[in-house]
Each structure stands twice: as structure tokens, then as C-alpha cells.
């Protein structure tokens, strides 16, 4: 028996039935998977697309609202929503119209337009930070904020929580191993030691936080207000406020990455919990699914950025007075803040990411969490449910985890994959790698009931297999 309370043998039997069923149900995806292997490395356009629970990738025909259809014409209710990229539903109508409008007006020019100003104005009002920058992805936004943090504080070390994910930023790819910072397992091509300038500590551990900051070399704490990438882990009451106070006390910056937690409130946890970060980061759904990220900063930071820039430019000047920097700050990509993304972000902020959208999403997640709890109780399983805003997750541990390590200890990958595959075979998709769900403005109460009922059926079938 495993910590999840389910025997591995039973999971294996259950999984093999589901694999066969998937193969029988998805002949066209199979054909495309075979064809894809001829031209795409690993048979997918990005290698992690092969990491789902399915025997081969499920190929998508189209997606709209809370649903998508695969190439074998099965319709799915989507609780993954592109892992938040489509948090407001697939192809929201205002974003689709914006895409069409901008499609003939130029896609990218390396120059700003009025849309950028409108976005800046909305973001300032919504998140309470006065100045904004636009990037191509949330990963980029985190990377650039980190550069600014090091430049401003002139301190080298980034502090993160063990089990975090902030995109493929090198500096965050570390774990805490009993008080020592080590590389995250699985990194490809890592040749230098990340622990030189990154430090990982457990979430919800005020003492570890203070110890790490006390060393005096920390430029910033980069964190999600609640962890969402190693299973969901909520902060203890007041922990985020302590993060703010302690970073301030020890001269480190407080960077809040709301790329996922923006599902909590239209102003994110930042506004809901009055976090007052120095920098705020968001990506994924900010332009309604069109690639885009943003970061905002306080007035104080904007002045510190100016001062850091002046100092750096000064250092880049030759004795004759001309600069050798030529705009090479180490930040920005060619397509950052392109005209298409800006127009779509404007439409998304003005018409899609609205109070009404959140008013629809939040109660559905509550309904889902309550349903998960009922199913867990019915089957007498030692599992728990964690909920935050429009997101909730069932975890294979009796008490909700308080740290990344606790959340990870509750992983039972084979069980998770088997349950996900059962759901996929019955037209429901949830976020891969753990058991997180997200409701969007097009999700219905009936969709939520369907997920609850299908999970119940999966567990009934699984628990009937002799372990
Ligand atoms: N921050 C957080 C909290 C995330 O969860 C992710 C992606 N899962 C990112 C940043 C990076 O987003 P992207 O992959 O779109 O750059």
C-alpha cells in the first residue's frame, strides 16, 4: 500500500485497461502521432507535450470556451485550460475580434502604439503598481525583474521557495535539500553551479526565511503568493505579510509572481491580501492566450531602476564619453510588446478579465472543491483538497501540505496518471503532473458535476480491483 492509500498493483491493472481504451478510442491521434515522429523531435513540437498520461499525444482539432475537440471528434470539458494560458476560456470573443482587427494592421514594428498605454493604465489601476513593462512570456518577465533586482540592490543571491516554478529561468531551478541548495533534478545542459547565486528555502518557514535574508546577500525573494506548481500549497495566515516585512527589513526586494494565482481575484492575491510587492509578475492569460507577459513596479523601484541604469551606463562609457552598451541591457526580445499582443491584451483586460468573469469562476471552484471532498470521504481515502480562487486540487495526503517537500511527498505519479487518463477517456482534461483544476467563465455547474461524478466512478472502479 502507498501513502495515497491505493495499491500500486491495482493502479497498474487500472492503467492498462485505460491505455487500451485510449488506443481504441483515438485512431486519428495515433496516425498523427506516428507521422509527427518523422519530423518533430519526440513526436511533439515541444518535448513536454509527450509527458501526459496518454499512450501517445492527444491531437487537438479546435477549442472554444471551456471545451476542445480532438481529431477523433471527441469533445472534452477542459479544466486544464492550457495550464492557465486560457484561464478565461479558449478564444474569448473579444480577443478573437482583436486578433482579426490587428491582423491587417501590422503585427510587429518595434515601436509602441496607444494600446500599450491603455494596457499600462489598466494594469496600474488594477494592481496598484504605477509602472509596467511588457514581455513575450512570464518566464521572460521573471528573468528581467531578477536582472533589475540585482542591479538595484547590487546583491547577487535570489531567494526562492523549495518546489517553486517561475518558468525556465535558470536561477530558479534549485531545491532545498535539508538546508542545502541543490540543482533541481532533470536539468539539461546545466554546466555552472546555480547554488552560487540562488538559495531555496521551505515555504511557510519564517525562521528559514529570516536566516536566509540575514546573510545580507539576497537581492530578492521571488515567490508565488500560494505555491501552484508542486501541487498547491497555501500560505499560513500572515506568512506572505511576513515575507513583505522581512524582505524590507533586510534590504531585499519582494517579487510576487501571479502568473497562476491571478485566478484568485481580478487584482490577484496582491490586491486581495494587500501584499505591496516591489515587483509584480504575470503572464499566460494576460492577453487572453496570445503570448505575452508583464511586470509592474512601485514608484520607489522605478527610481531605483533609473539610478541603476545611470550607474551602469556610466560604467559602459569610454573616456571619450560614448557608450559601449548599445541598448544591451540583457532584457527584452524582439517580439516583446508587439502590436498584436498589445491589442489582444487591451481587449482581454477591457472585456474579458472582468469582475463578472471572476464572479462566475469562483463559485464553480468552490462547488468543485466541495464535490472532491465528498468523493474522498465516500471512498474513505486519506486525501485532502486545497482551494484558492478559481483553482482547486485534490492531493494524496490527509492534511493539506504546508511546504513543497510535503506536497511532493504526497505524489503518487502512477495513480495520478491513471486517474487523469480515465478522465481523458471520458472527455475531461485536468492539469497534468498533479491534480489541479481551473474553472473559466465558460465552465458550467454541470461541467463541474460531471468531473466530480467521473472521479467518483474512477475511484469506484479502481478500488474494486483486488490490491
Ligand atoms: N510563473 C509561474 C508561477 C508559472 O506557473 C509559470 C508557468 N507554469 C511561469 C511563471 C512561466 O510561464 P511561461 O511558461 O508562460 O513563461
How many alpha carbons fall within 13 Å on the CB side of residue 61? Answer: 13
Dmax (CA) of the chain: 82
Query: 13: which DSSP letter?
Result: H
Please choose from 49, 86, 138 the residue to mutate so as to test ligand 1's pocket, defined by most ligand atoms within 8 A of CB: 138
- 366 phi and psi angles, rounded to 5 deg: -65, -45
CA of 82 to the centre of ligand 1 (A): 11
CA of 257 to the centre of ligand 1 (A): 9
Distance CA 114, CA 118 (A): 6
Distance CA 91, CA 451 (A): 22
Residue 322: the pLDDT is 79
Residue 428: the pLDDT is 98
Rg (CA), the chain: 23
Residue 324: the pLDDT is 80
User: Does 1 score more than 80 pLDDT?
Assistant: no
Distance CA 277, CA 129 (A): 9
User: Among 95, 89, 136, 90, which Cα is nearest to 350's?
Assistant: 95
Query: 194: which DSSP letter?
Result: G
CA of 3 to the centre of ligand 1 (A): 29
Query: 349: which DSSP letter?
Result: I
Q: Which helix (H) or strand (E) holds 118?
A: helix 114-127
C-alpha angle 79/286/434, rounded to 5°? 30
- Cβ atoms 105, 246 nearer than 8 A: no
User: Does 463 score more than 80 pLDDT?
Assistant: yes
Distance CA 160, CA 224 (A): 9
User: Using a 6 Å cutoff on CB, does residue 259 contact ligand 1?
Assistant: yes
Confidence of residue 148 (pLDDT cuts 50, 70, 90): very high
- Cβ atoms 425, 458 nearer than 8 A: no
CA of 142 to the centre of ligand 1 (A): 9
pLDDT in tens, 429-438: 999 999 999 9
Residue 323: the pLDDT is 78
Distance CA 379, CA 373 (A): 10
| Mean pLDDT, residues 285-301 taken together | 98
Nearest alpha carbon, ligand 1 atom 11: 167
Which atom of ligand 1 is nearest the CA belonging to 229? Answer: 5
Residue 357: the pLDDT is 98
Distance CA 247, CA 201 (A): 14
Phi-psi region of 336 (alpha: psi -120 to 50; beta: other; left: phi over 0): beta
pLDDT in tens, 67-84: 999 999 999 999 999 999
Domains assigned to the chain: 8-88+355-463 (3.90.1150.10), 93-352 (3.40.640.10)
Residue 153: the pLDDT is 98
User: Using a 6 Å cutoff on CB, does residue 416 contact ligand 1?
Assistant: no
Nearest alpha carbon, ligand 1 atom 2: 166
Instruction: Using the CB atoms, write b or e for 223-253: b if 16+ within 10 Å.
Output: bbbbbbbbbbbbbeeebbebbbebbeebebb
User: Does 4 score more than 90 pLDDT?
Assistant: no
Phi-psi region of 450 (alpha: psi -120 to 50; beta: other; left: phi over 0): alpha
User: Using a 6 Å cutoff on CB, does residue 137 contact ligand 1?
Assistant: yes
Residue 467: the pLDDT is 75
**Residue 325 has which C-alpha cell?**
552598451
pLDDT in tens, 349-365: 999 999 999 999 999 99
Q: State the ipTM, two decimals.
A: 0.99
Confidence of residue 110 (pLDDT cuts 50, 70, 90): very high
Residue 166: the pLDDT is 98
Amino acid at each position: 500500500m502507498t501513502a495515497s492509500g491505493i495499491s500500486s498493483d491495482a493502479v497498474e491493472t487500472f492503467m492498462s485497461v485505460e491505455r487500451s481504451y485510449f488506443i481504441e478510442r483515438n485512431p486519428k491521434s495515433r496516425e498523427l502521432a506516428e507521422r509527427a515522429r518523422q519530423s518533430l523531435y519526440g513526436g511533439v513540437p515541444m518535448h513536454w507535450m509527450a509527458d501526459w498520461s496518454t499512450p501517445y499525444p492527444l491531437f487537438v482539432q479546435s477549442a472554444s470556451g471551456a471545451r476542445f475537440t480532438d481529431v477523433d471528434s471527441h469533445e472534452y470539458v477542459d479544466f486544464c485550460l492550457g495550464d492557465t494560458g486560457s484561464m478565461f476560456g479558449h478564444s474569448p470573443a473579444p480577443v478573437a475580434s482583436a486578433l482579426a482587427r490587428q491582423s491587417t494592421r501590422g503585427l510587429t514594428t518595434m515601436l509602441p502604439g496607444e494600446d500599450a498605454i491603455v494596457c499600462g493604465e489598466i494594469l496600474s489601476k488594477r494592481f496598484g503598481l504605477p509602472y509596467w513593462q511588457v514581455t513575450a512570456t512570464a518566464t521572460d518577465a521573471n528573468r528581467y525583474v531578477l536582472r533589475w533586482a540585482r542591479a538595484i540592490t547590487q546583491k547577487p543571491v535570489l531567494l526562492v521557495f523549495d518546489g517553486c516554478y517561475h518558468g525556465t529561468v535558470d536561477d530558479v531551478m534549485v531545491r532545498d535539500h535539508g538546508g542545502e541548495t541543490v540543482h533541481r533534478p532533470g536539468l539539461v545542459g546545466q554546466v555552472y553551479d546555480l547554488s552560487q547565486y540562488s538559495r531555496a528555502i521551505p515555504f511557510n518557514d519564517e525562521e528559514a526565511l529570516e536566516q536566509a535574508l540575514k546573510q545580507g546577500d539576497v537581492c530578492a525573494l521571488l515567490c508565488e503568493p500560494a505555491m501552484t506548481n508542486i501541487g498547491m500549497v497555501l500560505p499560513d495566515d500572515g506568512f506572505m505579510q511576513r515575507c513583505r516585512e522581512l524582505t524590507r527589513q533586510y534590504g531585499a526586494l519582494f517579487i510576487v509572481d501571479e502568473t497562476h494565482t491571478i485566478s484568485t481575484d481580478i487584482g490577484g492575491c496582491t490586491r486581495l491580501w494587500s501584499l505591496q510587492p516591489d515587483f509584480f509578475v504575470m503572464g499566460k492569460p494576460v492577453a487572453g492566450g496570445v503570448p505575452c507577459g508583464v511586470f509592474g513596479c512601485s514608484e520607489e523601484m522605478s527610481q531605483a531602476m533609473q539610478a541603476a541604469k545611470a550607474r551602469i551606463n556610466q560604467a559602459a562609457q569610454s573616456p571619450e564619453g560614448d557608450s559601449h552598451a548599445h541598448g544591451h541591457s540583457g532584457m527584452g526580445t524582439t517580439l516583446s510588446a508587439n502590436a498584436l499582443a498589445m491589442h489582444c491584451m487591451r481587449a482581454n483586460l477591457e472585456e474579458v478579465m472582468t469582475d463578472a468573469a471572476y464572479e462566475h469562476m469562483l463559485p464553480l471552484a468552490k462547488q468543485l472543491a466541495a464535490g472532491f471532498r465528498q468523493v474522498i470521504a465516500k471512498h474513505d481515502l486519506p486525501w485532502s483538497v486545497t482551494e484558492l480562487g478559481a483553482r482547486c486540487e485534490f492531493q494524496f495526503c490527509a492534511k493539506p501540505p504546508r511546504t513543497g517537500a510535503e506536497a511532493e511527498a504526497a505524489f503518487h505519479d502512477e495513480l495520478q496518471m491513471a486517474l487523469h487518463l480515465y478522465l481523458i477517456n471520458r472527455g475531461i482534461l485536468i492539469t497534468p503532473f498533479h491534480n489541479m483544476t481551473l474553472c473559466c467563465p465558460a465552465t458550467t455547474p454541470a461541467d463541474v458535476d460531471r468531473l466530480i461524478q467521473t472521479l467518483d466512478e474512477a475511484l469506484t472502479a479502481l478500488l474494486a480491483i483486488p490490491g
